[in-house]
Amino acid sequence: MVLRWVLRVGGRQASVLAAAFLEDPLCSFAGDPLTEDEVLSALDYLREHALVERVVTDAEVAVLITAQGTRCVLAGGTVNDFLSRQPTGGDTYNIAASHGFVAGSQHVIQNNNFGLDASKLAEFAQQVRQFAPSLGVSAEEQSQLILGAEVLEETAATDVPEPTRVRAAFDRLNATLTAIGTATPGLTMLVGAGQSACQAVFGA
């Protein structure tokens, strides 16, 4: 979502002010505008994976899409779809003394002693994206579901996922699912999968 906006507004050679995204209609989820912190966090994630470059000028943050970022947008799908196709490697580290977070990435997986596994919610988000076109919902509802799934997947798959942001992204996506009036087997399956994933991550 953010990466596509950077390419659309700035093209392949011009940097764009990060704050400008806050004024874009795409800067929302299920009718709620994203916060500046959420946008900056998403841009930091993109920068960590060499999809954008961060430029600071006159105390304002601007970003410039990289060649890798351009390839990601043109490939279609989500950022995590693109990154998952890149060469992977690395080891698994279990950090018993870690508190308050769990981080999963294609290079390193960290597990804290609370058993938080953010990848379960990333998997749920992928299911929503896969089944959204077959739910028989309106184009607007389908767009909201896919956007919400992308936000959740990217939030859950960051190197150091923040529990409050992951939970907020899940709650928004779950609210969009449960607001669909017509019950279908596919919708029932997704709602159940979401509840299971949430319980696995947060225990409730």
- The per-residue pLDDT for 59 is 66
Strands (E), 87-143: 92-94, 103-104, 109-111
Instruction: List phi, psi (to 5°) of 138.
Output: -70, 165
pLDDT for residue 114: 43
Q: What is the CA radius of gyration of the chain?
A: 17
What pLDDT is recorded for position 109?
Answer: 38
Report in angstroms the alpha-carbon separations of 80 from 59, 73, 187: 30, 11, 24
C-alpha dihedral over 179, 180, 185, 189, to 10 degrees?
Answer: -40
What is the per-residue pLDDT for 185?
A: 81
pLDDT score of 200: 84
Question: In whole angstroms, what separates CA 92 from the centre of its chain?
Answer: 22
Under 8 Å between Cβ of 118 and 102: yes
pTM over 0.95? The answer is no
Q: Which residues of the chain have pLDDT under 50?
A: 88-115
CB atoms within 10 A of CB 11: 13
The two structure tokens encoding residue 144: 């909201």
In this predicted structure, what is the pLDDT of residue 113?
A: 37
Taken in order 104, 155, 83, 141, is the CA torsion positive or negative?
Answer: positive
Q: What is the pLDDT of residue 48?
A: 87
Report how far residue 102's alpha carbon sits from residue 163's, in angstroms, rounded to the nearest whole number: 8
